[in-house]
A = this chain, B = another copy of it.
Amino acid sequence: MKKIKYAVIGTGALGGYYGAKLVHGGCDVNFLLHSDYKYVKENGLRVDSVSGNFVLPHVNAYSSTSQMPAADVILVCMKTTNNHLLKDMLYPILQKGTVIILIQNGLGIEEALSEEIPEAGIARGLAFICAEKTGPGHISHFDYGKLILASFNLDRTDVLKNVCDDFSNAGIPCVFSDDLNLSRWQKLVWNCTFNGLAVVLDSKTDVILANDKTRALALDIMKEVIAGAKACGVDLNEDFADSIMEMTLHMRPYAPSMKVDFDHKRPLEINAIYTQPVLFAARNGFAMKKTEMLEQMLHFIDERNRNK
């Protein structure tokens, strides 16, 4: 098997962690950086991880895709709030057969990219990980890390299976799923619940779950997302809410990515994580009322937070 040439678009917590692990495992990875470009070009990447710390003193850092070599597999790890820039960013590194894996949150993002670049081979990466960028080129990985890969429109999925092998060899548990919708909605059960609550209640997961009323609310939202998934034809059992609740109760106190974005006054991923799922479910006849209420409140809070 030919060695895959990877490009990581967005070297934050996710892109930094997964990309660095791939390099650490012997893969060929080019990184696109924005604010950290100069720092990482000179100092490389540092990963503090529950599964072992390591430093990469030199990485292939780029500040623009126009200087970057074409890639076999592109790992899109930036926030969905900038997905309107994706088409222009990706064109310089696309070649025949390039697979774009969106390791991002939410619903409807593959559909949007596919409309913009109809010839693109698109897949999704669902990351189940607690990580944060704690400084320039410095990733802290607290918990979990599993990646699920699923095809959106690929003719052949053997590339995804090879990517899976690369991740597994690099120490990242990675599985291939042949049901993109199931995987997307599974991830949403956690995302729709804790991202919004953490922002509206200005709290980490442990504090939200320590209160009887907001723990009940979290469970309500999980079950509502599962009902939304079912309305969309996804076979997701109600018990899944209990297992996600158990997992979150046993996690260390965690600030979901939307809370981190909020604290840094960055735009929140409201559209992909909230608006799209509510729309998908509504189109299939189900009203996700509590999820929609979070969406409504988040718009208000996001605007105030960024003084718009």
Q: Does more than half of chain A's interface fall in helix, strand or loop, or is it mixed?
A: helix
In the complex, the chain B residue whose C-beta lies closest to that of A212 is B299
Q: Please give the number of chain A residues whose Cβ is less than 8 angstroms from any Cβ of chain B in the complex.
A: 20
Most B CB contacts (10 A, CB to CB) among A200, A216, A293, A301 go to A293
Cross-chain contact B296 with A293 (CB below 8 angstroms): no
Count copies of this chain in the complex: 2
Nearest CB of chain B from residue A176's CB, rounded to whole Å: 37
A116 on interface, CB distance cutoff 8 Å: no
* CA distance in complex: A303, B201 (Å): 12
Cross-chain contact A214 with B289 (CB below 8 angstroms): no
Cross-chain contact B213 with A299 (CB below 8 angstroms): yes
Chain B residues near A297: list those with CB within 8 A. 200-201, 213-214, 217
Chain B residues near A201: list those with CB within 8 A. 297, 300-301
A211 on interface, CB distance cutoff 8 Å: yes
Nearest CB of chain B from residue A99's CB, rounded to whole Å: 36
- Chain A residues within CB distance 8 Å of chain B: 200-201, 208, 211-214, 216-217, 220, 289-290, 293, 295-297, 299-301, 303
